[in-house]
Amino acid sequence: MFDLLGISPQVLMGQLLLGLINGSFYAVLSLGLAVIFGLLNIINFAHGALYMMGAFVAWMLLSYLGVGYWWALILSPLIVGVFGIVLERTMLSRLYKLDHLYGLLLTFGLALIIQGLFRNYYGISGLPYQIPEALSGGQNLGFMFLPNYRAWVVAASAVVCFGTWFMIEKTRLGAYLRAATENPVLVGAFGINVPLMIMLTYGFGVALAGFAGVLAAPIYSVNPNMGADLIIVVFAVVVIGGMGSIMGAILTGYVLGLVEGLTRVFYPEGSAVVIFVIMAIVLLIKPEGLFGKAA
Amino acid sequence: MTEAARTEPLLRVRGLEGWYGESHVLHGIDFDVHEGEVVTLLGRNGAGKTSTLLGIMGILPRRAGSVTFEGVETIGMQPRQIARQGIAICPEERGIFSSLSVEENLMLPPRIKDGGLSVERIYDLFPNLRERRRSQGTKLSGGEQQMLAIARILRTGSRLLLLDEPTEGLAPVIVQQIGHTIGALKSEGFTIVLVEQNFRFAASVADRHHVVEQGRVIDVIPNAELDANMDKLHGYLGV
Ligand SMILES: Nc1ncnc2c1ncn2[C@@H]1O[C@H](COP(=O)(O)OP(=O)(O)O)[C@@H](O)[C@H]1O
Ligand SMILES: [Mg+2]
């Protein structure tokens, strides 16, 4: 069947895997954006820079302190999360009463500063990060070769997405979060510390970006621009999915990664723009996004 | 001196002023509520009843004056600190969360103190809620949402409940049910400040009525003297 179209199954499966990998990053990043937007009403333009920071922190832990990948997978999101909390306490928390635009401008400025600092110290050529020993090599599945590290990225991001979804939709803590997203004043009047929740939510959202950054480090070279390139696509993903839904952000991320992969097989020229074309169509037909609630 | 005046009031409101931005809506509200009492705030639309409850809860954007609860001054506190003293609100718009199930709505307000009702007791008071506990909160009927909004603050151990027009827009049979509930809560020892437009309902549950007009309490009528004051009250409320 594939041969009829002149496409080998190896090529198709290879591109689908690549799409799934990209989709994994889109999902984790757009999930973080959706969580942050829900509670803080801030479009976190610094998300890409914090993703890049996650990769850099992993690289620094290894190069300066000899701390390896597995520890970095925990430490780097923690460090990025704490950095995010400092940003939230010192700057973002002053903007909650203002229009979305202010949060967007501030986080955009922060992204430029963070990226600029890393570019200044580390240049733009990119730094290598080795795939951890335990995940080198791969499996021959018969129809394709599956590198272990790529399988790990898909699995790890799926677990993190599911865990986050579960925490928000199925637990007591998540109920606080959903309620505070709807009506923070009333939740505060019940005796719940909403400012603390907001601070931790921002920390958690950017820690997700940091986590994605560590996952990315061995695949893409660690580069100050790695976040800026990715975040534009992730914003398109978020627009398509709609800001309103956690599950929507996750599913849209994976599906669009796969769509991009398929486009690379059937119409390679379109693969760089397909997500933006879909975004334009969604904006015309359902401006609140596929999973968004009409304003 | 009456019995009530001799003991320290549970809630004491003095010269409470409130603003929404530039607009000054409370101009010195004064009233007391003693432990175990049910009192009402009556008044026309826009008189400042809701704002008074929001002022007590600390939600009003800006307030001044004095609000003491169990002798503790709360005027400088954040809403969450005031809640933690043991005051809970059932807001006029009910505030049922659509992204939470009925049970999640019920379990949302954290326990502040011992002595709140158990979930079983609450489901006995409101059997509809037990049946529909898995439904989305806002899928309930208006009456059920109102019951949920009252039910969820009973778990917390708060002893002072601020209920803002719990009968608004509800069918007579449901109004009656809410009346029974308020009676049951009173006999459990809850202290209640009730905002009402429906003063026949108010008369059936309350010990005392405070008439609010233009951000002040302009008259206080004990429930026993309500009949004697009917003409005056009709004048205040414009009915
Ligand atoms: N959010 C608000 N912003 C500005 N003014 C308000 C707001 N809410 C109420 N008001 C004004 O405050 C006054 C008192 O309102 P309110 O306390 O809601 O009265 P009541 O509950 O007795 O009907 C009214 O004049 C009303 O227009
Ligand atoms: Mg009102």
Cα of A216 vs centre of ligand 2, distance in Å, is 54
Residue of B nearest to A191 (CA): B80
Identify the band that residue B239 occupies on the pLDDT scale cut at 50, 70 and 90.
low
Which residue type is seen at A285? I
Atom of ligand 1 at shortest range from CA of B215: 14
Assess B157–A contact: CB distance below 8 Å, yes or no. Answer: no
Query: Quick one: average pLDDT of B149-154?
Result: 96
What are the tens digits of pLDDT across the range A2-61?
555 677 778 888 889 999 999 999 999 999 999 998 888 888 999 999 999 999 999 999
Q: Strand B72-73 relative to strand B62-69: parallel, antiparallel, unpaired?
A: antiparallel
Atom of ligand 1 at shortest range from CA of B51: 17
Identify the band that residue B1 occupies on the pLDDT scale cut at 50, 70 and 90.
very low
Identify the band that residue B2 occupies on the pLDDT scale cut at 50, 70 and 90.
low
Identify the band that residue A144 occupies on the pLDDT scale cut at 50, 70 and 90.
confident
Cα of B42 vs centre of ligand 2, distance in Å, is 10
What are the tens digits of pLDDT across the range B180-214?
999 999 999 999 999 998 878 888 899 999 999 99
Instruction: With both helix axes pointing from N to C terminus, report the angle between A148-170 and A194-216 in degrees, rounded to the nearest 10.
Output: 170
Output helix, strand, coil percentages for chain A, rounded to the nearest 5.
Answer: 75, 5, 25
Looking at beta carbons, which residues of chain B come within 8 Å of A183? 95, 97
Query: Quick one: average pLDDT of A100-110?
Result: 91
What are the tens digits of pLDDT across the range A215-264?
999 998 899 999 998 999 999 999 898 877 889 999 999 999 999 999 98
The closest residue, in CA terms, to atom 6 on ligand 1 is B20
The closest residue, in CA terms, to atom 24 on ligand 1 is B46
Instruction: For residue A263, give both structure tokens.
Output: 């486009």
The CATH-assigned architecture of domain B3-237 is 3-Layer(aba) Sandwich (3.40)
What mean pLDDT is reported for chain A?
Answer: 91
> In this complex, do B99 and A194 lie within 8 Å of one another by their Cβ atoms?
no
Q: Are B10 and B207 spatial neighbours (Cβ–Cβ below 8 Å)?
A: no
What are the tens digits of pLDDT across the range A173-206?
999 999 999 999 999 999 999 999 999 999 999 9
What are the tens digits of pLDDT across the range B164-176?
999 998 999 999 9
Identify the band that residue A116 occupies on the pLDDT scale cut at 50, 70 and 90.
very high
Q: Considering chain B, what percentage of its residues have pLDDT values greater than 70?
A: 97
Element (H, E) at B109: none
Which residues' Cβ are closer than 6 Å to ligand 1? B 20, 23, 25, 43, 45-51
| Among the listed residues A169, A177, A208, A172, the one whose alpha carbon sits nearest the alpha carbon of residue A193 | A177
Q: Give the model's pLDDT for residue A2.
A: 52
Q: Strand B38-42 relative to strand B208-213: parallel, antiparallel, unpaired?
A: parallel
Residue of B nearest to A244 (CA): B99
For B141, which DSSP code? -
Report ipTM for this prediction. 0.92
> In this complex, do A190 and B97 lie within 8 Å of one another by their Cβ atoms?
no
Instruction: Residue window 127-186, chain A: list those with CB within 8 Å of chain B.
Output: 172, 175-176, 178-179, 181-183, 185-186
Looking at beta carbons, which residues of chain A come within 8 Å of B78? 188
Question: Which residues are registered as beta bridge partners of B24?
Answer: B19
> In this complex, do A189 and B100 lie within 8 Å of one another by their Cβ atoms?
no
What are the tens digits of pLDDT across the range B75-121?
999 999 999 999 999 999 999 999 999 999 999 999 999 989 999 99
Q: Are B53 and B63 spatial neighbours (Cβ–Cβ below 8 Å)?
A: no
Assess A108–B contact: CB distance below 8 Å, yes or no. Answer: no
pLDDT greater at residue A229 or residue A65: A65
Burial (0-12, 13-18, 19+ Cβ within 10 Å), B184: exposed
Q: Report the residue among B16, B19, B23 best suited for mutation to probe ligand 1: largest number of ligand atoms under 8 A from its CB.
A: B23
Assess B119–A contact: CB distance below 8 Å, yes or no. Answer: no
Of B57, B99, B107, the CB nearest to A182: B99
Nearest ligand to the C-alpha of residue B164? 2
Cα of B150 vs centre of ligand 2, distance in Å, is 16
Q: Report the residue among B50, B195, B212 best suited for mutation to probe ligand 1: largest number of ligand atoms under 8 A from its CB.
A: B50
Nearest ligand to the C-alpha of residue B165? 2
Domain segments of chain B: what residues? Answer: 3-237
Q: Give the model's pLDDT for residue B5.
A: 53
What mean pLDDT is reported for chain B?
Answer: 92
Assess B137–A contact: CB distance below 8 Å, yes or no. Answer: no
Assess B77–A contact: CB distance below 8 Å, yes or no. Answer: no
Identify the band that residue B3 occupies on the pLDDT scale cut at 50, 70 and 90.
low
| pLDDT surpasses 70 at B4 | no
Burial (0-12, 13-18, 19+ Cβ within 10 Å), B74: buried
Looking at beta carbons, which residues of chain B come within 8 Å of A188? 78-80, 83
Which residue type is seen at B40? T
Q: Which whole-number Å values give the CA distances from A70 to A28, A67, A73, A133, A213, in the listed order?
A: 18, 8, 5, 11, 13
| Among the listed residues A254, A260, A251, the one whose alpha carbon sits nearest the alpha carbon of residue A278 | A260
| Among the listed residues A188, A37, A199, the one whose alpha carbon sits nearest the alpha carbon of residue B58 | A188
